[in-house]
Structure 1
């Protein structure tokens, strides 16, 4: 009971410290109590998508941060989102000692002294840890929470749900907390970082189509293929990874006006055996209906219609130890301007 009460006191003190630090003078670093898992520093690597500096996870692949021809992340097709916070291995005993002292290097203010004393007792004075567990160096590592910066800034309560204080984990043991990083959690975090190509379909006619004449639409496999992101973590003997792969499976066409018909009637163009979607127009097919396309029933006048082309991506993952599975499908699309003209006739 005494240990439980001590943990609660530390968490309470950490909250008081956070409130105190908000009132600190401008230019002073926002210090957080390691005992309260309150670190929240922007950064990591370029194009990090909102992870905090404290994360040791490395993301590679189609993240959009390497100058590749990618556009944006997709939207889950169902009510689902990756973890807004999680726990991961962070520090050796010496590293945690340095981190602890750096975070407490702040001006003295009301409430800070008591919080500091409680944290010293907890991590230095043997209640329950002694000198940051330096005698246990090499036998384990300190774990702490990480939150998604963007969701935290948006006020998402889920980003603040990982409030367990910094804890020690022996080598080979699994942390007994919800959202401790696993291959599946890495896969979910990788999902949030996938960047997919722009959904710009090829149209024929290309520049302007005519009323009541079919417009062919397609996506070539060579320009539109699967993408993947790998998330890996190698810290203090914890070495896990997961690769999340998104594969295009269908194209949804929305003409931008109710005065139109789609091919097929559902507007859903499925993927072909060769990985392409739809079929390129070729000479001699003018009298045929396209397997994927649109027929506009009125002109766009002096303007244009906004054709929305949305691709559905099927998502799966594989990870350390043979783990793997499916994640929710994702959708991503964009608008294209389509000019529709009347067919000109000559009256004699």
Structure 2
């Protein structure tokens, strides 16, 4: 139970600290901390700790405060920390590779190879941790699929990063991420199709208290171009 200013009691809401009769909520997102950043009381924020919103029922003292330890019995929802960890990551769209490449002409009906030049920021895994005293959460992101909108109205969805093309493969189709154009790109801006890759990043998290979960997918896009013509037959 929580005591009011007249010492009457009411059921406590989450985040109540009976020691000072104030409610605390971990801020999400966290304001900037470190040298040059202070809370409403001028507290140093360069060490371990976190910003909380404080609202007190016995006086008008409230606002944003920096605490090096959470109030007794108060720990944030692990998903709040999971989102903060996710926001620390750099998650990008695909680094698109293609054959024929954007400067090389392709032909209607011939195989197009597509791939993502993998890195931690374009494919994953990519991990980060957010913590307050008593609880830490690590989030890990990786791409589950890339959908390539090929600019001619068609698309292909790849669940792998794709296979990089090399000349000795000749006119074979890609084993895992390819396409064939049925239209030429003449008449499009620059005489090329715009290819848009949409990457879906899955973000999972695990907390030091044993909790775990999944955040909504993060979506990132990137683009390249493709020039497509027709095979000319000479009699």
Decide which structure has greater helix share: 1
Q: Which residue of 2 aligns with 1:44?
A: 32
2:190 is the counterpart of 1:295: no
Residue correspondence of structure 1 range 177-326 to structure 2 within 5 A? 181-206=76-101, 207-208=103-104, 209-222=106-119, 224-234=123-133, 239-258=134-153, 260=154, 267-271=156-160, 277-290=161-174, 291-301=176-186, 302-326=190-214
2:59 is the counterpart of 1:123: yes
- Tell me the CA shift for residue 4 of structure 1: 8.4
Distance 1:343 1:144 in 2: 70
Gaps of 5+ in 2: 7-21
Question: 3-state SS of the aligned residue for 1:281?
Answer: coil
2:225 is the counterpart of 1:337: yes
Q: Deviations over 1:22-53 (max 9, x none)?
A: xxxxxxxxxxxx99x9x9xx95159xxxxxx7
Are residues 293 and 145 of structure 1, via their aligned partners in 2, closer, same or farther at CA, if it must alter by over 3 Å? farther
Distance 2:51 2:171 in 1: 64
Gaps of 5+ in 1: 6-33, 47-52, 59-87, 101-118, 125-131, 133-142, 147-168, 175-179, 272-276
TM-score where L is the length of structure 2: 0.64
Corresponding residue pairs, total = 197
- Tell me the CA shift for residue 192 of structure 1: 4.0
Question: 3-state SS of the aligned residue for 2:109?
Answer: coil
CA RMSD of aligned residues (A): 4.4
- Tell me the CA shift for residue 287 of structure 1: 3.4
Residue correspondence of structure 1 range 92-131 to structure 2 within 5 A? 122-123=58-59
Q: Deviations over 1:292-340 (max 9, x none)?
A: 1222222211422111111222211112222222223332122222222
Q: Deviations over 1:161-220 (max 9, x none)?
A: xxxxxxxx852x23xxxxx72322211233344321331211011123222211101124
Q: Which residue of 1 aligns with 2:18?
A: none
TM-score where L is the length of structure 1: 0.46
Distance 1:242 1:57 in 2: 21
Are residues 324 and 145 of structure 1, via their aligned partners in 2, closer, same or farther at CA, if it must alter by over 3 Å? farther
Q: Which residue of 2 aligns with 1:156?
A: none
- Tell me the CA shift for residue 144 of structure 1: 6.0
Q: Deviations over 1:7-29 (max 9, x none)?
A: xxxxxxxxxxxxxxxxxxxxxxx
Distance 1:298 1:246 in 2: 37
